[in-house]
Amino acid sequence: MRIAVDADGGEFAPHEIIKGAIQAAQEYKVDIALVGKKTLLHVVAGKHLKNLNLTIIGTSQTIGFHEHPMEAVQAKPRSSIVVGINLVRDGKADAFVSAGNTGAVLCAALLSLGKIKGIERPALGSIINLIPSAPALLIDAGANADCRPSHLVQFAQLGNIYAKHVLSIESPCIGLLSNGEEETKGNRLVQKSHQLLKKSSLDFIGNIEGNDIAQRTADVIVTDGFTGNIVIKTVEGLGDSFIKLRHALSSAYHLQGRALLADVGLGFMVKGMDYREYGGACLLGVKGTVIVSHGRSQAKAIKNAIGLAKRTAERGICQLISDANHEQEV
Amino acid sequence: MRIAVDADGGEFAPHEIIKGAIQAAQEYKVDIALVGKKTLLHVVAGKHLKNLNLTIIGTSQTIGFHEHPMEAVQAKPRSSIVVGINLVRDGKADAFVSAGNTGAVLCAALLSLGKIKGIERPALGSIINLIPSAPALLIDAGANADCRPSHLVQFAQLGNIYAKHVLSIESPCIGLLSNGEEETKGNRLVQKSHQLLKKSSLDFIGNIEGNDIAQRTADVIVTDGFTGNIVIKTVEGLGDSFIKLRHALSSAYHLQGRALLADVGLGFMVKGMDYREYGGACLLGVKGTVIVSHGRSQAKAIKNAIGLAKRTAERGICQLISDANHEQEV
């Protein structure tokens, strides 16, 4: 298993990316292809080249955070994002992990890897992990700001496969995020999607609301990429504030007995709200495994993203999605 | 100042509603008109009728949570929601507070009070209070699931007036909730709204993201009612979980010194995520003060909602909105 990692992408590139990649190489026993500016990478990662299965793929262009995704991808074929995605396309890597310009990663994946046959719109599946041993998947976490009802149905199907095979949920139940439980609630998109999902073969439990996210009512939370992205970042933002406050609290005294138990619960939830823990979102529906990490990812987030990439590639998610679509057509 | 309170609305009606109303009558020195089933109300509130300025307005119909709003309002003119709203219309109450069927309250307000001249779509403004002494307003919290760009611009104007006069923010800054900071980000609705807001006379700071909610980047957070409702309930749901965990933690030991300080911060934030504290959302743009409370409201939430109703009515928000619209036309 070989994972290509974008060493040029993210606020803390390249140092934190390389640190995370080295940790992942050790912990997950994967080969790593670090994609980025050659000279810099050699200096930073050089001493690990012999001990770990670490290779360096030199690039000469960089796509910044504020560049227009499609224009940047087309203008910069020698950027880490395009080169990394192409490694997956050419079978030289099993997955690509990037904390760079998300839009550019999505564009490069669409252009270079292409969509799996039958998929209208690839979507980002993001793991939400607020309760011990019960992760849920939110899809779409931000790939498609404007959606049609058929897209949301396909997001549900993609999420179903991912929840089953990567999160190991035997028969995932699917909830449609809305502003009310009743099937008459929702915007036009959600109302129409609800009717289509009811007719599908999925275990559709109906509309769920914002408060169901913390209550973990559904295994797969289906929503458009605009709403999904806002929800994910709202949870993250609150998590950040809690981490700061809780850190101040914990460092001020020692916990014992019942207090310790409660603190473990609080700690788990705060951890679940932390993007550093789940590492990244998986782009589902393209011909290859692509993990998009948070732009602020440091070593731990990158290490976890590489772990997620490994798990996703091992389970053969692309093939499973392709098979499921083939069955539907037959 | 006289506030009409829906004693039939909400999961904990009538007992908790009456309890909250009595507390509010004492604390805020307001007259209360309890609207609901007469016999029951007399039994429950009877002993307070003399001491407090409490009157009972009997009704004979009830609108349930799952009834279709418009149909229910038209079919049940003697329900607490319709009767309560009509008290405001007829000048017999200065505001109406309900924890009942939100859709029905909105319909009744539109039908009976009507929109302020120039307002396209009244919207729900909900207070978000995560940082001490720095409340923010999210608008629309759920009145309009499908919106046009001109609606969002008007929500910004309504929010601006409310933030200035009820939250006492001298010159409120307005953020547009989106899935990215750049003005090219967002769904079509947000992209078009962004361009209109840029041209407005408001202090528009551009797009804000989900994580900006905890960071309190904007005084007024503008969004469509579908997204807004989901965001508000996501925050609430996380708040509920934290309250449970924190309660277990606090009760297990005594806090001292630095720990106490950190716990106060944590406590404030958790409190800010709790709908019981802010009491309700204000329907802005109709000719009258209407506060919609959470369906699960208990005494404390109702008391706070009545306090908010009083503050909103005192500041003359409806007149201020009307004046602002008149100025724009001139």
Q: What is the 3-state secondary structure (H, E, C) of B74-122?
A: HHCCCEHHHHHHHHHHCCCCCEEEECCCHHHHHHHHHHHHCECCCCCCC
**Does residue B252 have a pLDDT over 60?**
no
Q: Which residues in B lie closer than 8 A to residue A258 (C-beta atoms)?
A: 248, 252
Q: Which residues in B lie closer than 8 A to residue A255 (C-beta atoms)?
A: 253
Out of A179, A233, A237, closest to residue B229 by CB: A179
Q: Same CATH topology for A2-119+285-315 and A123-275?
A: yes
- More confidently predicted of A72 and B251: A72
Q: In Å, how far is A182's CA from the nearest CA of chain B?
A: 8
- More confidently predicted of A326 and B330: A326
Confidence (pLDDT) at A48: 73
Mutate to test the interface with A, among B211, B246, B254 (most CBs of A within 10 A): B211
Q: Which residues pair with A284 in a beta bridge?
A: A123
Give the nearest chain B residue to A252 (CA atoms): B259
To which residue do tokens 């190991």 refer? Answer: A168
Q: Which of B13-22, B44-53, B274-283 holds the top average pLDDT?
A: B13-22
Confidence (pLDDT) at A245: 64
**Residue A290 structure tokens:** 């692509």
Distance from C-alpha of A154 to C-alpha of A139, rounded to nearest angstrom:
10
State whether B242 and A145 contact (CB < 8 Å).
no
Distance from C-alpha of A214 to C-alpha of A238, rounded to nearest angstrom:
12
**Does residue A325 have a pLDDT over 90?**
no
Confidence (pLDDT) at A296: 87
Confidence (pLDDT) at B85: 98
State whether B252 and A269 contact (CB < 8 Å).
no
Percent of all residues in chain A with a pLDDT value above 70, rounded to a whole number: 89
A168-177, A282-291, B59-68, B220-229: which has the minimum mean pLDDT? B59-68
Q: In Å, how far is A235's CA from the nearest CA of chain B?
A: 7
A56-60, A101-105, A266-270, B100-104: which has the minimum mean pLDDT? A266-270
DSSP secondary structure of A86-121: HHHHTTS-SEEEE-S-HHHHHHHIIIII-BPTT-SS
Distance from C-alpha of B10 to C-alpha of B296, rounded to nearest angstrom:
6
Region A141-169: mean pLDDT is 97
Region B213-236: mean pLDDT is 95
Choose among B281, B156, B129: nearest CA to B214. B129
Q: In Å, how far is A209's CA from the nearest CA of chain B?
A: 6
A42-46, A60-64, A156-160: which has the minimum mean pLDDT? A42-46
How does residue A131 score in pLDDT terms, banded at 50, 70 and 90? confident
Confidence (pLDDT) at A38: 82
Confidence (pLDDT) at B209: 97
Q: In Å, how far is B142's CA from the nearest CA of chain A?
A: 7
State whether A269 and B241 contact (CB < 8 Å).
yes
Q: Under a CB-based contact definition with an 8 Å cutoff, are residues A221 and A208 in contact?
A: yes
pTM of the entire predicted model: 0.92
**Does residue B19 have a pLDDT over 90?**
yes
Q: Which residues in B lie closer than 8 A to residue A241 (C-beta atoms)?
A: 130, 214-215, 269
Give the nearest chain B residue to A225 (CA atoms): B179
Out of B234, B258, B259, closest to residue A234 by CB: B234
Q: Under a CB-based contact definition with an 8 Å cutoff, are residues A143 and A123 in contact?
A: yes
How does residue B325 score in pLDDT terms, banded at 50, 70 and 90? confident
How does residue B314 score in pLDDT terms, banded at 50, 70 and 90? very high
Q: In Å, how far is A273's CA from the nearest CA of chain B?
A: 10
Region B170-190: mean pLDDT is 95
Looking at the domain A123-275, which fold is it? Answer: Isopropylmalate Dehydrogenase (3.40.718)
State whether A265 and B248 contact (CB < 8 Å).
yes
Choose among A82, A96, A77, A185: nearest CA to B230. A185
Looking at the domain A2-119+285-315, which fold is it? Answer: Isopropylmalate Dehydrogenase (3.40.718)
**Does residue B132 have a pLDDT over 80?**
no
- Three-state secondary structure call for residue B290: strand
**Does residue A70 have a pLDDT over 70?**
yes
**Does residue B94 have a pLDDT over 60?**
yes
State whether A241 and B182 contact (CB < 8 Å).
no
ipTM of predicted complex:
0.91
Strands B281-284 and B123-128: antiparallel
> CATH homologous superfamily for B2-119+285-317?
Isopropylmalate Dehydrogenase (3.40.718.10)
| Cα dihedral A139/A143/A149/A151 (nearest 10) | -80
Q: In Å, how far is B177's CA from the nearest CA of chain A?
A: 8
How does residue B137 score in pLDDT terms, banded at 50, 70 and 90? very high
- CA A48 from centre of chain: 27
Distance from C-alpha of B286 to C-alpha of B119, rounded to nearest angstrom:
8
Q: Which residues in A lie closer than 8 A to residue B210 (C-beta atoms)?
A: 229-237
Confidence (pLDDT) at B246: 63
Region B281-295: mean pLDDT is 96
Neighbours of A200 (CB within 10 A): 13
Mutate to test the interface with A, among B177, B227, B276 (most CBs of A within 10 A): B227
Distance from C-alpha of B48 to C-alpha of B52, rounded to nearest angstrom:
6
Region A5-10: mean pLDDT is 94
Distance from C-alpha of B175 to C-alpha of B139, rounded to nearest angstrom:
11
Confidence (pLDDT) at A194: 98
Q: Which residues in A lie closer than 8 A to residue B265 (C-beta atoms)?
A: 245, 248
Residues 6+ apart with CB under 8 A from A109: A85, A96, A122, A283, A286, A288, A290
Q: In Å, how far is A171's CA from the nearest CA of chain B?
A: 25
State whether A230 and B229 contact (CB < 8 Å).
no
State whether A145 and B209 contact (CB < 8 Å).
no
Residue B47 per-residue DSSP state: G
Region B265-293: mean pLDDT is 81
Residue B280 per-residue DSSP state: -
Confidence (pLDDT) at A172: 98
H or E element, residue B126: strand B123-128
Region A239-244: mean pLDDT is 74
Confidence (pLDDT) at A287: 98
Mean pLDDT across chain B, nearest whole number? 90
What are the φ and ψ backbone dihedral angles of B54, each rounded to 5 degrees?
-115, 125
- More confidently predicted of A258 and B330: B330
Mean pLDDT across chain A, nearest whole number? 90
Confidence (pLDDT) at A53: 87
User: Given CA atoms B83, B86, B91, B96 in this order, what sign does their dihedral have?
Assistant: positive
**Does residue B253 have a pLDDT over 80?**
no
Out of B224, B229, B240, closest to residue A214 by CB: B240
Region A148-166: mean pLDDT is 98
Domain ranges of chain A: 2-119+285-315, 123-275
Q: In Å, how far is B128's CA from the nearest CA of chain A?
A: 12
Mutate to test the interface with A, among B129, B216, B238 (most CBs of A within 10 A): B238
User: Given CA atoms B262, B265, B266, B267 in this order, what sign does their dihedral have?
Assistant: positive
Residues 6+ apart with CB under 8 A from A232: A126, A128, A138, A141, A142, B210
To which residue do tokens 């005294």 refer? Answer: A253
Confidence (pLDDT) at A129: 84
Looking at the domain B126-275, which fold is it? Answer: Isopropylmalate Dehydrogenase (3.40.718)
Confidence (pLDDT) at B241: 75
- CA B93 from centre of chain: 18
Out of B66, B230, B246, closest to residue A231 by CB: B230
- Three-state secondary structure call for residue B7: coil
Region A108-115: mean pLDDT is 98
State whether A259 and B266 contact (CB < 8 Å).
no
H or E element, residue B2: strand B2-6
State whether A190 and B226 contact (CB < 8 Å).
yes
